[in-house]
Amino acid sequence: MITIHINGELQQLADNQTLAELLVCKQVAPQSVAVVVNQAIIPRSEWSQYQCQADDQIEFFSAVAGG
C-alpha cells in the first residue's frame, strides 16, 4: 500500500495503481475531470500509463466555461 493525497486528503492506495484505475475506484467519470499530479496536469490519454507514487499530490477538477 502507498499513501497519496487526493484533493488535499490522505488516501491509502494499492501499489501500482494507475490514474485511470484510481478514477474508477473513486467513481469519477473520466470525461468530467482534469487530473493534476504534483502541480502538472496529466493528459487524459496518459492516465492508464501513469502509476501513482507514494506521496503524490493528486487533484481532480472540472472545466468551467462561464464568462
Q: Which residues bind other proteins (CB under 8 A)?
A: 29, 31-32, 34, 36, 39-46, 59, 61-67
Close Cβ partners of 26 (under 8 Å, ≥ 6 residues apart) = 6, 60
Which candidate, 52, 48, 59, places its Cα nearest to that of 7? 59
